[in-house]
Each structure stands twice: as C-alpha cells, then as structure tokens.
Structure 1
C-alpha cells in the first residue's frame, strides 16, 4: 500500500513527465530532465543504462519523505510486457507474488517523435542481479543460485506465468530477515500461461531445471550486450 508521501512523489514525477516528455526525442533526454536541478526536491540515480537504442533505462528516485521507487523507461515496443502492464488482473497476481517486482503505476507518454514511451514505477528493491553474482562464483554458490532461481520460477508458474530464462540480469538476489530470494524484474520475460493446466506447469519444471543448470554457471555470458538481431537469438 502506497503512503501519502509515496503518492505525492509519484504524482510529482508524473506531472513533470507529462509536461516535458513531448519535448524530448530519446530516452537519454528524459533521464537528463529528471536530473535537472529544477527538480532538486528528489534524487535520481542510474541503476542501468540502455545497452542498445531500444533497451530500457532504469533509475532510482527518492526523496527524504518517502520510500524509494525504481523507474523503468523504455519504448513501448515489447508486447509481452505490454500485455501484463495493460491487465489489472495480471498485475494484481504479480503484486501478491514474492518472486517478482511490484508495479505501483505504469503509463505511456508520446515523445516529440510520437514514439510511445513506457514508464513503469516499481517499489525499489535492494539486491544484486544474478548475472553479477554467478561469474567466477564457487561451485557451492552456483548450486545455491540455481536453487533460488528454481524457487522463483516455480512460484511464477504457480500463478500462471512462464518466465523466459536467458538473461540472468532479469533476476536479482535479495535478502530480508536472513532469507534469500530471487526476484524477477523484467515483465517482458513473462508469458501468460494461466489457462494451462496446473499439472502442465508442474511437469515443465524438469525441462526448466535443465535450462537453469546450463544457464547459471561461473562462466556465464550475457544473452545479449547490444541490439539483438535474429542471428543473436539462435
């Protein structure tokens, strides 16, 4: 549940975006306007820069009176994510899940080129992406990361989502009260499979376990580091 301070901060940022985004022509300009000294009542810092022109920009926004937000900014050209964003029912299911980030608001604003820019506000979670943890990790830690990722995936399947496991940067490891948990951060990895039989979603885990085993390794390489092409999707 958002506090009044959270709501006020979100509305403040949203008002700025509605006024200024139509004057911009790319995502970098949007980040710069959020950093502008005219809006010094909050702090904006980069969590992830785009790896290619269509990739998301992710920033952390906070002020002294509210909890922090994570804001993801990207062109609205990712159909699987858009499917979830536009469904209150699916968002509600993910909000109740402990293994995915919680969206508090999402909306679209056209920029100066009439490209739809998607803004997604999440509750901020302090954690480390799996892709940063697995490289060079010991065999013992790799086994732990595999089990935690499996737990995350199993729970997403239970509520009717099939996650695409390829980029470990889409999953972060968090620790709360001494308990570690892996959380999915990218909704474009999710396929809505809620109409499938529950037993099918259980049986698929023997295949998913093998994918996790092959993906989570100490010599892990990122799925993509530049704008993807059909050749890179092999």
Structure 2
C-alpha cells in the first residue's frame, strides 16, 4: 500500500483525538489568518453524505453581532436551567460558552435546499447534520493540533439565530463555534471535571449481533 502514515504520524493522530476538548475558557489574542484558513480548510475536507457538503460557515466580525449571539445563548441557558428542574442551579454554575473571550467566532449552519439531495438521505435525512458534525470534528482536531482551543455551543434558538444572520429559508444554524488561545487544556472533559457527567465505559457501549448483547469471554 502506498501513502501510508509512519508511526509518529499515527501516534499524533491518536494523541489529538485523545487530547481534544470542548473549550470554554480562552485568553485574549487574535487567531492568525493563515492558521484560521487551515482550520476552515480542514473542515471543508470532511466527508459528507452524497458529497453534498451541506456546511456553511459565517465568520462573526461585528462586536454587535457577537453580543447579540451572547444574548441568545443567555436566554436559552436560562430556559435550559428551568427545563432541568432540580439540576437547574447546578447547571447555572457551569461555564457554557466563551463567546466574548474567544479570538474567532463562527456560526456553522446547514445549507438551504437540502431536500434536493436524496443520495444517502432518503431514509436518513439527518445525515446532512452528521456531515456538518464531521466538518466540525475535523476543525476541532486541527485546532487542538495547532494549540488552539475550540468550543461548540448549542444553546440558542435556531430560528432566532438564523434571522439575526439573515439566513435563507431552509438554512439552519447548528453550532456557535468559539476558537482561540488558551492558557491550558482541560486534562479531562470540563463537564467531567465539574461532576456533571462521567465518561461511560466503552465495553458497556459495544454490542455483538444485537442490542445490548455483549461478547462472551473466550
């Protein structure tokens, strides 16, 4: 086989996967333009169902628009706390975004007219969203490899964010993406550090030949 990775390249890929974190804490500083271009290009190299490439990225440069996004997130944060019931107060203590502090702010969205794309989506139309998630994961891993933090914020009303950004009918925002410099990366996921949730054991999530059927020893 040609074009194989050497062992150090392989190790670097797995290291980036293991060290990737959903970052909420940033330090001041702009993201270099050439570096930002590499991250966007990494996202655009993601696989997509039927090669439809449903991702669209809106780079937020206006301070007023950034602040408007903060307000939308704050409103949804309060609504989420109410929906969580007795865990609401615990949730409100969490830092859920770094929109004001991050050096670069993007909104990732699903394109409009997605109904025109049937290949791979006839029975699973949500594969367009899976494709955008692949693009964001590419950007996440590239950011980590470059020493930048990235956070995916999903606390917002999609219709209101779409209106704020003048998106066409049918387009849908799915992520507010914070990218920037960090003082340090979390040693484990932040929500695990804060006691919100724990990473499950892989053996409890892998089945054989049917739902919740575990492999037999030997």
Please indicate, yes or no, whether the TM-score normalized by the shorter chain is above 0.5. no
Q: TM-score, normalised by structure 2?
A: 0.24
Radius of gyration: which is bigger? 2
Q: TM-score, normalised by structure 1?
A: 0.23
